[in-house]
Amino acid sequence: MSRWRISKGQAVDLQEWALEESGTKKFLDSLPELPKKGKIKPGLYVSYEIDELELDGGIDWPDVGIAMVYAILQDGKREYLGEVRAYNWEAIWLSTNEYDEVDDAGEWWRCVKEDYEKLKKSDMK
């Protein structure tokens, strides 16, 4: 264990902080959580699962994936659409497939929804 590791409990606290501070909570609250098993209906889902491998930053504090948004397509395939990442209660990144960093939650959510609509249209062909 390195000195730059955070605990799972600290990661959950970081998650709660980042969702509120970034403004993404209100958008993500409208989505169902991605089930861990079983057949999943097509749609837009959020995962709040924290990857324990990300809790150790090695030479610096870790930046942790706080929430990931996925599309489930008609064939059951899961497609990544975007995520919220946080670093040490100092910085938050909103990213999508197309953009590494989006400035605000409203713009990020618009990009995620547009990407989802494109995927739905291509999935129907």
Please, are residues 84 and 19 in contact by the beta-carbon 8 Å criterion? yes
pTM: 0.89
Q: Where are the domains of the chain?
A: 8-124
Nearest alpha carbon to residue 69 among 43, 88, 89, 90? 43
pLDDT tens-digit profile of 58-85?
A: 665 667 899 999 999 988 899 999 999 9
pLDDT tens-digit profile of 21-47?
A: 999 999 999 999 999 888 899 999 999
What's the pLDDT band for 121 if we cut at 50, 70, 90?
Answer: confident
